Amino acid sequence: MKKWIIYLTMVVFLICSAFAMEECMREQTTKNIPCFFVTTWTPPNDCNTYSANLFNESGVLLDIHSFGSIGDSGRCNITFNHTQLGQYYINSSLETWNITLEKENNMLAIILSIGIMIAFFIALAILNENLPLKFISFGIAVIQVILMLGIVYAYESNLNYVNLLRINFYSTLIIGFGMAMMTLILRSIKMINPSKDKKFYDKWKGE
């Protein structure tokens, strides 16, 4: 019984740790927002008697936040929850901070995913003996290469490419599934009894 209590406590601790806010860094991604700033010293009065002004990089006042306390440490904290990219400044009588929000760099995962799709369609073209399907497979692989270059260009130019990825995902999923099933059917016919349904096989093979 005691072991189950220990395991349950560990699970709850891990879950709370995963969802707990982290302290803000000078350079932060939107994935780690909200975060909080902590004072480096203990003020003489209660934390809630102090406030901080939040400015954007143009010097425009965006918000006024009240400080909160961190347990019995005596230090004060303030939560930052803005998600628009750019630089921010927080000024108060306690501390002064600045934070730069940057876009999350997930380009490596995107390129890797598109690379897997390119390899899939090239393999499908090599395994496929049907000339039209072979041509379509190679064509889709070339399109994916062009798409990869376009996404890299959009990323470097700070353009939105989310809709392009969404359209490519669904269209490639439908076309790839259909071509994979057709290839499987044709190769199954040939492996089971290539002479019995030769006319059917030759028709889809393009002969």
- pLDDT tens for each residue of 44-103: 999 999 999 999 999 999 999 899 988 788 899 999 998 888 899 999 999 999 999 887
Q: Do 78 and 133 share a structural domain?
A: no
What residue numbers bound the domain in which 146 lies? 107-205
Q: What is the pLDDT of residues 135-172, one digit of tens each?
A: 888 888 888 888 888 888 887 777 777 788 888 888 88
Contact between residue 94 and residue 68 where contact means Cβ atoms under 8 Å apart: no
How many angstroms separate the CA atoms of 83 and 12, rounded?
28
Domain boundary among 69, 86, 102: 102
* Per-residue pLDDT tens over the stretch 2-55: 444 443 443 333 334 334 568 898 888 888 888 999 998 899 999 999 999 999
Q: Are residues 46 and 27 part of one domain?
A: yes
98 in the same domain as 6 = yes
What's 65's domain CATH number? Answer: 2.60.40.10
Residues 52 and 137 in one domain: no
Domain shared by 49 and 133, yes or no:
no
Same domain (yes/no): 52, 139: no
- 98 plus 113 within the same structural domain: no
For strands 68-69 and 61-66, give the pairing.
unpaired
Complete edge-to-edge strand list for the sheet that includes strand 68-69? 22-23, 35-38, 76-80, 68-69
- Boundary-marking domain end, from 102, 126, 159: 102
**Domain final position from 102, 125, 155:** 102
Number of domains in the chain: 2
Residues 124 and 71 in one domain: no
The DSSP bridge partners found for residue 80 are 35
41 and 12 both lie in a single domain: yes
Statement to judge: residues 19 and 79 lie in one domain: yes
94 and 64 part of one domain:
yes
CA distance 159 to 152: 10
Residues 6+ apart with CB under 8 A from 73: 42
